[in-house]
Amino acid sequence: MKVFRIQNEDGYGPYVSRFTLPIPEIDIMCNKHAGDAYFDSALWPTSFTECTRERGEDYRCGFINEAQLFNWFSEEEIEMLRRNGYDIVALDKEVTVIGKNQIVFTP
């Protein structure tokens, strides 16, 4: 399935890479996105995250279409991410969970 995502040249999105290369602008955006307006209970059931962690599985988040991506990230956020080495990509991936705001897929 085609998925859309914002990632750097190493394939990491801003939520993961901000811990290895802290950039204040990205931290502010990530903290804003951690709020209730962005939380998707269908995407993050406790059983999913616990099971994934226990098996040591890697997963990534993305979007089912560009409209969903642009609903998550503002134009200003996308421009800021581009200035910091991120870009929008379309990938063919196996989708694990489809939520109302995001999807989860295996890399």
Q: Tens-of-pLDDT digits for all 107 residues of the chain?
A: 999 999 999 888 888 766 667 788 988 888 887 766 566 666 655 545 555 555 556 778 899 999 999 999 999 999 999 999 999 999 999 887 788 888 888 77
Domain residue spans of the chain: 2-106
Say if residues 93 and 106 touch (Cβ distance below 8 Å): yes
Cα separation, 16 vs 34, in Å, equals 13
HEC readout, 40-74: CCCCCCHHHHHHHHHHCCCCEEEECCHHHHHHHCC
